Amino acid sequence: MARFLIHGGRKLFGELNITAAKNAYLPILAACVLCDDKIVLHNYPYYSDTESMCKILECLGANINKEGFDLVVDPSTISSWNIESELASQVRSSIFMLGPILGRFKKARVAYPGGCEIGARPIDIHLAGFRKLGVKVSERHGYIYCDASQMSAGQIVLDFPSVGATESLMMASVFLKGETQILNPAREPEIVDLQNFLIKLGAKVSGAGTGKIIIRGVERLTGGDYDPIKDRIVAGTYIIATAMCGGDVTFKGVKAEHLASLIDKLDKTACKIYAKGDKIRVQADGKPLSLGKIETSVYPGLPTDLQAQILALQTISKGSSMVCENVFESRFKHVPELVKMGADVHIKDRVAFVRGVDKLYGASVSGMELRGTASLILAGLVAEGYTTVSGSKHVDRGYHQIEKELSVLGADIERVED
């Protein structure tokens, strides 16, 4: 696995176009199972997670071609309702396939999903939703078996606004006669993007982004083309990098409203942010002030997927802070590695207590999961001397050539093959 070699101390300047959202592309790829005709998805982001989902689609029988940054999916040849463990275990989003497979075949055999090691990642909310729609679900030997021959429209109330469960149940309901309601759904922008994609293909879905999503059954979905939204977490990562390093960077393509919680926290404490439409300009002197108490939460609150990056920022911010991780139960694997670089952080349960230090020092650190590895790269950008960050396969799941994107802005970072 490759490592990143970073020489800290550079400010960041310039412009960057943000790549498509991983967490929009993944459910949209799953939704292709519901269609018979060709689908063209634009600005394909070449993350390893989206590549894994393409492999799953091909295993189900779909034909996939890449024409530059266009992904052409022909789902008409899909004939399987099985997802084997070696594929399913690579990504969390394999479980999102359950809904569309049930929608198309009324049966499924899917292995348990994989995904970042940030907690137990149960699927009880997914399965409770399917059972509410009349699906017979059994679990044995690491596989989920579903008989949806009696699946019918109904009302589902999610115990927790799970992103994946919301998306999978939306897709499962597309062909159900009558009206299906999902109450207490996740409200992330990626859910709205999935709704917009489904509507473009002929589905009748409304309410995404609110407390009630309504799906009215249709006979079939047509093909079409679609350009998924840009990645608010990638953009948020680089906004935080600019606040840490200092400089002046404009990010293009991502909707500022999708990052309102982060912008509200950082503006005038860690940097100055000028946000309008799909342009976000960040000016920073590299001397951020502490953000005080940080609470991650479901959208529109502060995203858990930016917690590790915000924590890296707090380690060099003037003052003390508390970072509370309220969504996942073990999402602090980056902390011991930041401490190796001189950070002053203590964990108690789901709270990280941070005291800002004047500087971090280059060290050899290990990334253990996607966003934690990104946060170690950010720390390396400001640390004195050289830092090596292992774990490229983690960060490649959700960033496309992160070292190239940061180099474009002036960072001294390269990917070194082991």
Residue 384, Cα to own-chain centre: how many angstroms?
30
Quote the least distance from Cβ 158 to ligand EPZ, whole Å.
9
Q: Which of 20, 41, 125, 343 binds ligand EPZ (CB under 6 A)?
A: 125
Residue 164 contacts ligand EPZ per CB under 6 A: yes
Per-residue contact flags (x/-) with ligand EPZ for residues 353 to 372, judged by CB under 6 A: -----------------xx-
Q: Which of residues 143-162 bind ligand EPZ (CB under 6 A)?
A: 160, 162
CA distance 390 to 86: 24
Residue nearest to ligand EPZ (CB): 164
Q: Which of 48, 50, 93, 309 binds ligand EPZ (CB under 6 A)?
A: 93
Nearest to 30 by CA among 170, 215, 177, 231: 170
Nearer to ligand EPZ, 100 or 398 (CB): 398
CA distance 225 to 42: 8
For 100-202, strand residue ranges (E) read 107-111, 136-140, 143-147, 155-157, 179-183
Instruction: Identify whether 300 is preceded by a cis peptide bond (ω within 30 of 0).
Output: yes
Nearer to ligand EPZ, 255 or 371 (CB): 371
Q: Which of 43, 237, 261, 304 binds ligand EPZ (CB under 6 A)?
A: 304
- Per DSSP, the three-state class of 60 is helix
The Cβ-side half-sphere exposure at 182, using a 13 Å CA radius, reads: 35
Active-site position among 35, 54, 116, 146: 116
- Per DSSP, the three-state class of 129 is helix
Q: Which of 25, 175, 197, 328 binds ligand EPZ (CB under 6 A)?
A: 328
Q: Give the burial class of 46: count Cβ atoms within 10 A of its Cβ; 0-12 exposed, 13-18 middle, 19 or more buried.
A: middle
Q: Which of 42, 55, 122, 404 binds ligand EPZ (CB under 6 A)?
A: 122
CB 395 within 8 A of CB 370: yes
Quote the least distance from Cβ 233 to ligand EPZ, whole Å.
6
Residue 398 contacts ligand EPZ per CB under 6 A: yes
For the question of residue 324 being annotated catalytic, the response is no
What is the set of active-site residues?
A: 116
Interacting residues with ligand EPZ (CB under 6 A): 22-23, 26, 92-93, 116, 119-126, 160, 162-165, 186, 304-305, 327-328, 370-371, 398
